Amino acid sequence: MKARVTVTLKTGVLDPQGKAIEGALKSLGIDGVASVRQGKVFDLELTGSDKAAAEAAIKTACEKLLANTVVENYRIEIA
Amino acid sequence: MKAAVVVFPGSNRERDIAYALELTSGVKPALVWHADTALPAGTDLVVLPGGFSYGDYLRCGAIAARAAIMDAVRAHAAKGGLVLGVCNGFQILCEAGLLPGVLMRNSQLKFIARNVHLKVERSDTPYTRRYNAGAVIEVPVAHGEGNYIADDETLKRIEGEGQVVFRYCDASGVVAPKTNINGAMNAIAGIVSDNRRVLGMMPHPENHVDPAIGSTDGRALFESLTDSLQTA
């Protein structure tokens, strides 16, 4: 199984990198982008086949390391 | 004073801290490797130095906060031991949950390396007793991610409890948006834990301890620590 974890900043947390990218898109003349928020993607190769167990383990990984839940949200997808 | 300076892969200010501690206390601190699981017996003070632990991968301080030695550092803090984190050390303390909040990318996206002025908000901590409350000191900063952020409730709590120890200000002590070098909430440069035993700060007091450098404004922080431990 594979899993993808997407970590994004919580709404309301200032994202200076997103703002810089937003400015760069504007300067490239790309219209129609109201705002940009930058996040992170982690692709995990899993050894087991128990989806529920994998989800629980990845949730722990997110809470303990992959995300800083003070300012970040995370989303887990397992395929 | 028995001090232990933790060295992570990528730490680069451990010798500066060790020099400042030895200069002010007369005792050489122990350097402790991140993969160790115990602090030297009788450690009074643990210092997490500045640098780029684990290359700042994932988030600054995130991987260091989960290093083997950190369980011992947590246990040391839990029993009221002193823990000082400077720059990357501050980031590690926040990531480890020993201090509230988090340090984000500087709001103007620039790495800042220069001297700044700091207002010492409190003299009633083990780290600042040799300063007068309201004093203005000049110390260097060198960081790309020093923008202190906490949720509203946390910010209100740490302000209300007097946990903010240092703020970015101008030479006369005025805290204003233009003196806030990295966009930190309320211009916060350093905070202590609720029991005031753990201090995290972005600026580097260890680099202003020797007259040869041109300033000794940071020296009182280390002298305060020596005093605190002698009278404890």
Q: Which two tokens stand for residue B159?
A: 């302000």
Residue tagged 């995300």 (tokens) = A67
- Give pLDDT tens digits for B60-108: 999 999 999 999 999 999 999 999 999 999 999 999 999 999 999 999 9
Which residues of A make CB contacts under 8 Å with B?
13-14, 16-17, 20, 64-66, 68, 70-71
Give the chain B residue nearest A68 (alpha carbons): B95
Collect all residues of chain B within an 8 Å Cβ-Cβ radius of residue A17. 105, 109
Tokens 């970040």 locate to A72
Given a cut of 70, the residues of chain B with pLDDT beneath it are 231-232
Which structural domain, as residue segments, surrounds residue B19?
3-231
Interface contact flag, B101 A20, Cβ < 8 Å: no
- Closest-CA residue to B182 (of B198, B192, B167): B167
Residue B86: which residues within 8 A CB-CB, separation 6 or more? B13, B17, B47, B48, B49, B50, B200, B201, B202, B203, B204, B205, B206
pLDDT tens figures, B213-232: 999 999 999 999 999 998 65
Alpha carbon distance B197, B19 (integer Å): 22
How many structural domains is chain B composed of?
1
* Domain coordinates in residue numbering, chain A: 2-78
For A70, which of B101, B108, B109 is closest by C-beta distance?
B101
**B137 pairs with which residues across the strands?**
B118
The pTM of the full predicted model, rounded to 2 decimals, is 0.94
B62, B105, B183 member nearest A65 (Cβ): B62
CATH number of the domain located at residue range(s) A2-78 in this protein:
3.30.1280.10
Q: Do A14 and B58 touch (CB under 8 A)?
A: no
Separation in Å, CA A24 to CA A19, B109, B183 = 9, 14, 21
Does B66 sit within 8 Å of A64, measured CB to CB?
Answer: yes
**CATH code, domain carrying B226:** 3.40.50.880
How large is the ipTM? 0.85
